């Protein structure tokens, strides 16, 4: 009789807990978090997959844009606003799956972080000059394997330019191959184009092999716009897993000679073995380019 009453009590207790929406795993049992594919995530949010590769996915509808980084430690953005971590990501038969809980996390932000209305006379399309540092007879710094900085800069800059063009911006690169371009000419290209933004891409090197992380530079007398875009890029690049060294000031000629907003990005340290390997990795280069583009997009809103 006591056993029967105990069984009924346990059943009732489980029913109450279930009604409250809280499940407690029995000893030795671990609940498995439900996951869904990116395609299902888009469908449940009423959005479409607009762009996707091995490290990110962009979802869009008529009013919202969601950027999800699908790598370990990735984060997600809604209308350019950083929201939070994506959580566990896994691949099932080649398709990316995320935690089902991400649906409500994103849905709660849709429409709430929409960009403000633009002032009359402004345009959504920006003119951007992307400057791959060094080139030709000027290799920049090197890594032990003989890889030149100029090559890494060009690869990341080309990826960045491609992303920005797909988003409707008018993009000019100061060089598109391994050629030498004088520093003054790089700035002059931006000035002739009347660029809304000049972005110079570099990789760093110092005697200390433990130094690591990315840095965004602006001129000592930088405008408010240059400061704003630098901060936006720093926020976005923090999603890549790279250590941030923040915004710093330095009177590099390309920054001083450019009349419009200008930043110089040091992607990381080629003098650091671990970071040098990452900077040579195509997938990581994509991740950097995507993050820089996200920062630029946040600034342009």
Which residue segments constitute the domains of the chain, with CATH numbers given?
Answer: 35-107 (3.30.457.10), 127-300 (3.40.630.40)
Q: Count Cβ neighbours within 10 Å for each residue of 100-121 and write b for 16 or more, e otherwise.
A: eebeebbeebbeebbeeeeeee
pLDDT value, residue 210: 95
pLDDT value, residue 79: 80
| H or E stretch at 291 | helix 282-300
pLDDT value, residue 17: 38
Cβ(200)–Cβ(133) under 8 Å? yes
For the range 222-226, what are the long-range contacts, defined as Cβ-Cβ under 8 Å and sequence gap of 24 or more? 222/249, 222/255, 222/262, 223/261, 225/260, 225/261, 226/255, 226/261, 226/262, 226/263
Query: Rounded to an integer, what distance in angstroms lies between the CA atom of residue 84 and that of residue 226?
Result: 26
DSSP 25: P
Supply the residues annotated as catalytic: 266
pLDDT value, residue 27: 53
Chain segment 3-26, per-residue pLDDT in tens: 444 443 434 334 433 333 334 445
| H or E stretch at 78 | strand 75-78
pLDDT value, residue 253: 96
CA angle in degrees (0–180, nearest 5) for 166-56-156: 60
Q: Hey, is 96 helix, strand or coil?
A: strand
Low-confidence ranges of the chain (pLDDT < 50): 1-25, 29-31, 113-123
Statement: the pTM of the whole predicted model exceeds 0.75: no
pLDDT value, residue 110: 85
pLDDT value, residue 155: 97
pLDDT value, residue 73: 75
């Amino acid at each position: 009789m006591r056993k029967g009453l105990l069984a009924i009590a346990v059943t009732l207790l489980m029913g109450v807990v279930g009604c409250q929406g809280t499940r407690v795993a029995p000893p030795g049992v671990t609940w498995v978090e439900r996951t869904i594919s990116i395609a299902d995530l888009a469908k449940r949010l009423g959005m479409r997959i607009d762009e996707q590769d091995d490290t990110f996915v962009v979802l869009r509808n008529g009013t919202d844009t969601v950027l999800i980084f699908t790598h370990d430690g990735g984060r997600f953005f809604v209308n350019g606003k950083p929201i939070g971590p994506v959580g566990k990501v896994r691949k099932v038969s080649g398709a990316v799956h995320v935690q089902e809980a991400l649906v409500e996390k994103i849905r709660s932000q849709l429409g709430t972080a929409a960009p403000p209305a633009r002032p009359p006379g402004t345009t959504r399309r920006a003119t951007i000059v992307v400057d791959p540092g060094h080139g030709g007879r000027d290799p920049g710094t090197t890594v032990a394997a003989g890889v030149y900085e100029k090559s890494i800069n060009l690869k990341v800059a080309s990826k960045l330019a491609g992303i920005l063009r797909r988003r409707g911006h008018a993009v000019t690169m100061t060089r598109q191959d391994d050629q030498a371009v004088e520093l003054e000419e790089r700035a002059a290209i931006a000035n002739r184009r009347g660029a809304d933004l000049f972005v110079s891409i570099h990789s760093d090197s110092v005697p200390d092999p433990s130094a690591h992380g990315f840095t965004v530079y602006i001129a000592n007398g930088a405008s408010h716009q240059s400061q704003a875009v630098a901060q936006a890029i720093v926020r976005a690049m923090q999603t890549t897993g790279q250590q941030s060294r923040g915004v710093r000031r330095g009177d590099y000629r390309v920054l001083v000679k450019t009349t419009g907003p200008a930043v110089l990005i040091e992607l990381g340290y080629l003098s650091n073995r671990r970071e040098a390997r990452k900077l040579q990795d195509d997938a990581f280069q994509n991740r950097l380019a995507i993050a820089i583009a996200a920062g630029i997009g946040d600034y342009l809103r």
